[in-house]
Structure 1
Amino acid sequence: MTGLVFRLKGEPEERLDLSPLIPERLDGLTSSEIQKLGIGTTKRDLKLGDVFDVSGADVSDIRFEGGSARLDKIGLGLSKGSIRVEGDVGFRCGRAMRGGAITVTGSAGDLAGSAMEGGELVIQGSAGARLGGPEAGETKGMSGGAIRVQGSAGERAADRMRRGTIVIDGDCGLDAASRMIAGTLIVGGKAKGTPGRLMKRGTLILAGGAERLAPTFLDCGPQDLIILRLMARAIGEELGAVPFDGSPMRRYGGDTAVLGMGEVFLPLR
């Protein structure tokens, strides 16, 4: 059985809510029923068949041929199967996913992997703000799973992160890992602003350095830790080569303005 393919007919004229297009919600529907699903966000009441050509039948293997920054909420709540997008996606890609895998060959908008609980999200381009973070009013961000961004990411990545792993190969916007509760964030490029501000626990590895740290972080000096090498190996096996190899790094403890049990690793200079 071939996978289910959604081929984009052209650039959408409005933002689209594609949250219904996951295996859990498509299972048992005929092709005709799928094409009648409402995905519009305006009074035009767009149906899926107005925007996509549909082929294939295996809902556990979904592919979008053609992308757009207006394709929102792809993989929302995904718990099984796989989704692949050939191109860009809009905001909330992979939000609240609990399992399965999502691959985006382009870039993603804000809140990718927001409140994620499990599974794997790979973005081969760049990501917007609050990667793996919470929606407004929520008390926790990502609480499980793994995210890999091969480009850069916007501000407040891993905000209120509770568990899981995020790897960003490029630069990271302002204040990454703000209010971090636990988990691991690895940044290969430069971390802008004050990363780790108000983090309680967790590990922040800034392989490309940081603009500055808050004064409430304590310099613990150079550290040659076996755990860094083990982390580099384990995460590399899961997500591919990571932007650090476990070599000695300078460790900072904090943020002592709150619980202060987090750690930030920076390159030795």
Structure 2
Amino acid sequence: MTGLTFRKKSEPQERLDLSPLVPSRLKGLTRKDMAGVVVGTTRLRLTVGDLFDISGDDAAEICFEGGSPRFDRIGEAMDAGEIRVDGDAGNRLGRAMSGGRITVEGSVGGHAGSAMSGGVIRIAGDCGERLGGPLAGEMAGIKGGTIVVAGKAGPRAGDRMRRGVISIMGDAEDDVGSRMIAGSIIVGGRAGGTPGRLMKRGTLFLCGGAEHLAPTFLDNGPADLLIFSVMAREFSKGVVGPVGFDGMAMRRLGGDTAVLGLGEIFLPL
């Protein structure tokens, strides 16, 4: 058996909802059935067959050959298996996923990993706003799993994060870790705006420093903690990989005291 491949015929003229194309929903379907699945978001009712050439037969391993910023909701609610995107992806990548792995070779839009509770997302490029964050009206962001971004992240990455790990190797735009409830965020580059704004608990490692911090964070001085080495070693052995704070002298700030104030931000000395 070979992995199931969807090869893009041409750039779509509308945004697509690719949430039906996950392993659990494609298992047991014939290619004819797959080709008839509606993925368009307008009255044109575009189907998979209109947009993709289909090959392979193993729905546990799905590949999109040729990505697009209009490919929305890839891997939504997936619970097992693997999805690879050879190119860019749109909004809500991996939203509400509970297991499996998604790998994107390009960049993605907003709300990647929103409401995620398990699994792994790896993004080779940049990501849009609210990485792992909630949609409007929701009270919690990512609740588990791991997200790794090789590039930079848009505003409010990790907003309302409740559990899990987010690693951003590049810069993070304004308010990374805003309203954070728990979990860990690692930023290899520089954090813009006010990182950790209104965070209640959780940990932010800002390895490239921060543009500025809210005045409601308290400087606790240098932090030479053994746990840093332990965490760095475990991350490097797992899906996160090497982290910027490994061997780095850091200082700790506690906050945000405007709310519960049990969170922590670590910055280079």
TM-score (norm 1): 0.99
1:249 paired residue number: 250
Counterpart Cα distance in 1 of 2:173 and 2:120: 22
CA contact (8 A) 1:173 1:192 kept: yes
Counterpart Cα distance in 1 of 2:244 and 2:100: 25
Counterpart Cα distance in 2 of 1:68 and 1:266: 36
Do residues 56 (structure 1) and 66 (structure 2) align? no
SS of equivalent residue, structure 2 residue 252? strand
Counterpart Cα distance in 2 of 1:49 and 1:243: 44
Counterpart Cα distance in 1 of 2:4 and 2:126: 26
1:86 paired residue number: 86
2:211 paired residue number: 211
SS of equivalent residue, structure 1 residue 228? helix
Paired residue type of 1:128: G
SS of equivalent residue, structure 1 residue 229? helix
Paired residue type of 2:259: V
Which residues in structure 2 correspond to 1:132-211 (within 5 Å)? 132-211=132-211
Do residues 261 (structure 1) and 262 (structure 2) align? yes
Which residues in structure 2 correspond to 1:1-16 (within 5 Å)? 1-16=1-16
Q: Report the alpha carbon displacement of residue 248 of structure 1 after superposing the two structures with TM.
A: 2.5
- Cα deviations across residues 63-112 of structure 1 (Å, max 9, x unaligned)? 01001000000000011000000000000001111000000000000000
Q: Report the alpha carbon displacement of residue 231 of structure 1 after superposing the two structures with TM.
A: 1.2
Counterpart Cα distance in 1 of 2:131 and 2:108: 10
Q: Which runs of no fewer than 5 residues in structure 2 stay unpaired?
A: none
Paired residue type of 2:82: S
1:108 paired residue number: 108
Q: What is the aligned-residue RMSD (CA, Å)?
A: 0.7
CA contact (8 A) 1:133 1:156 kept: yes
Deviates more, 1:240-249 or 1:199-208: 240-249
* Number of aligned residues: 268
Paired residue type of 1:106: G
CA contact (8 A) 1:190 1:209 kept: yes
Paired residue type of 1:141: G
Q: Report the alpha carbon displacement of residue 244 of structure 1 after superposing the two structures with TM.
A: 2.1
1:46 paired residue number: 46
Paired residue type of 1:251: R
1:20 paired residue number: 20
Q: Report the alpha carbon displacement of residue 235 of structure 1 after superposing the two structures with TM.
A: 1.6
Counterpart Cα distance in 2 of 1:10 and 1:237: 39
Paired residue type of 1:259: L
SS of equivalent residue, structure 2 residue 7? strand
Identity %: 63
SS of equivalent residue, structure 2 residue 102? strand
SS of equivalent residue, structure 1 residue 7? strand
Counterpart Cα distance in 1 of 2:199 and 2:76: 27
Do residues 240 (structure 1) and 241 (structure 2) align? yes
Moved >3 Å (runs of 4+): none
Deviates more, 1:244-253 or 1:70-79: 244-253
CA contact (8 A) 1:224 1:247 kept: no
Q: Report the alpha carbon displacement of residue 246 of structure 1 after superposing the two structures with TM.
A: 4.1
Paired residue type of 2:252: R
Paired residue type of 2:130: R
Paired residue type of 1:221: G
Q: Report the alpha carbon displacement of residue 243 of structure 1 after superposing the two structures with TM.
A: 2.1
- Cα deviations across residues 111-158 of structure 1 (Å, max 9, x unaligned)? 001111000000000000000000000000000000000000000000
Counterpart Cα distance in 2 of 1:31 and 1:236: 40
Q: Which runs of no fewer than 5 residues in structure 1 stay unpaired?
A: none
TM-score (norm 2): 0.99
Counterpart Cα distance in 1 of 2:55 and 2:243: 36
